[in-house]
């Protein structure tokens, strides 16, 4: 640990000393994080980073539940403070705050190549927002009996599918705001949803330990993947629509894994990624830029972000965000940047580096 002293050599720093105040502000910007690095010879080293990084203006005043990328500069997030925030993570500035929900925000979903997005909340409503419109929602969608826990926008932006802990999925016409289809499956407590690119299918994870593939044409279950041993907390589809990944809850290393599935005809399980010690809350496919192999990232309640070789299941890198508490959500900001939401320290901006093998570094927090 780095020990700072003022010019009068006060140790520890004293609030009554002018120099101590300056030193204290500097010390507050020096954070440390631990990470594990897999060397080419197979040996795993644990290293500690202690370096200054940027502390941006905070996006929220409480735990952040979810973050999503709106474009290559802006992200949209929501949390326990009941607000939705559009944030420029490259400049560290709040672009706009949106207030309309009465309870915690649970999900946000952005419309492709648009400045519009949706937010879901424990108040059972879904609100549609426009970045350049007023701070009032453009639409309010009400139809669920319990907290809304899934949002999926169709690739052509004409439809929105919502899911809830009330076991129902609702399909909405975005233009009119009308519900056009409704489906209910017993014990299907929705945890997350996403639309398959260029297809009429919606992927959905559930507390009943299953992953379902829905056909939006009539809102019928098209396929159920084999039931897992633990609650499936999140799901994501690759950009080419050929694969999907889900992750599970757990404790002490039991469960706490991510699973890669084939979305094509065989629809088999391809690989599993095990190494977290608490619930894995989010998983994303990373763009093929710096890494020589396809990579998946996961974030967990154990305060760790892990990078995985998608093909082999090997853990390539582990970054521990000490003091952040449970990590709740991951989003790809740009080809080398990840946004990671947390309970205790807002949103972390992480950057991938391939200069010494694939590494992940925290460069800012907001």
Please state the φ and ψ torsions of residue 116, each to the nearest 5 degrees: -110, 150
* pLDDT confidence bin for 4, thresholds 50/70/90: very low
Listed in sequence order, the residues at least 6 apart from 345 whose beta carbon sits closer than 8 Å to its beta carbon are 321, 323, 324, 325, 365
Q: What is the pLDDT of residues 73-115, one digit of tens each?
A: 999 999 999 999 999 999 999 999 999 999 999 999 999 889 9
Nearest residue to 203 via CA among 247, 156, 173, 172: 247
CA end-to-end distance (rounded Å), the chain:
23
- Nearest C-alpha neighbor of 268 from the set 234, 223, 208: 223
Q: Look at residue 24 in the predicted model and tell me its pLDDT.
A: 45
Tell me if residue 179 falls in helix, strand or coil: strand
Comparison of pLDDT for 9 and 321, the residue scoring more: 321
How many CB atoms are closer than 10 A to CB 46? 10
| 349 and 337 Cβ atoms separated by less than 8 Å | yes
The whole-model pTM stands at: 0.86
Instruction: Find the mean pLDDT for residues 119-124.
Output: 98
pLDDT in tens, 204-236: 999 999 999 999 999 999 999 999 999 999 999
DSSP 281-331: EEEEEPPSSS-SS-EEEEEETTSEEEEEETTT--EEEEEE-TT--SEEEEE
> Cα 5 vs. chain centroid, distance in angstroms?
39
Q: Which helix (H) or strand (E) holds 168?
A: strand 168-173
């Amino acid at each position: 640990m780095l020990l700072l002293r003022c010019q009068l050599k006060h140790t520890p720093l004293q609030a009554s000393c002018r120099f101590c105040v300056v030193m204290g502000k500097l010390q507050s910007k020096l954070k440390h994080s631990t990470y594990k690095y897999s060397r080419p010879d197979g040996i795993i080293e644990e290293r500690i980073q202690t370096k200054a990084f940027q502390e941006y203006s905070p996006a929220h005043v409480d735990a952040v539940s979810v973050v999503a990328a709106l474009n290559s500069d802006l992200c949209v997030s929501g949390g326990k403070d009941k607000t939705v925030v559009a944030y420029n993570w490259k400049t560290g500035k709040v672009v706009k705050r949106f207030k309309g929900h009465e309870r915690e925000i649970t999900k946000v979903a952005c419309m492709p190549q648009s400045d519009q997005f949706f937010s879901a909340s424990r108040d059972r409503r879904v609100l549609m927002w426009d970045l350049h419109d007023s701070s009032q929602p453009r639409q309010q969608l009400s139809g669920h009996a319990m907290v809304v826990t899934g949002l999926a926008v169709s690739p052509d932006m004409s439809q929105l599918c919502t899911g809830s802990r009330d076991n129902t999925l609702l399909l909405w016409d975005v233009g009119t705001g009308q519900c056009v289809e409704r489906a209910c499956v017993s014990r299907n407590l929705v945890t997350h949803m996403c639309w398959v690119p260029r297809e009429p299918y919606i992927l959905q994870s559930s507390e009943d330990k299953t992953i379902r593939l829905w056909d939006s044409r009539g809102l019928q279950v098209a396929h159920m993947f084999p039931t897992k041993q633990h609650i499936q907390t999140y799901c994501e589809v690759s950009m080419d629509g050929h694969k999907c990944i889900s992750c599970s809850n757990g404790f002490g290393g039991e469960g706490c894994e991510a699973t890669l599935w084939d979305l094509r005809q065989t629809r088999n399980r391809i690989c599993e990624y095990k190494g977290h010690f608490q619930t894995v809350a989010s998983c994303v496919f990373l763009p093929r830029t710096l890494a020589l192999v396809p990579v998946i990232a996961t974030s967990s309640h154990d305060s760790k972000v892990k990078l995985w070789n998608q093909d082999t299941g090997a853990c390539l890198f582990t970054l521990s965000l000490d003091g952040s508490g449970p990590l709740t959500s991951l989003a790809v900001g740009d080809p080398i940047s990840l946004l990671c939401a947390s309970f205790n320290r807002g949103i972390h901006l992480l950057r991938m580096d391939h200069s010494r093998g694939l590494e992940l570094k925290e460069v800012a927090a907001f």
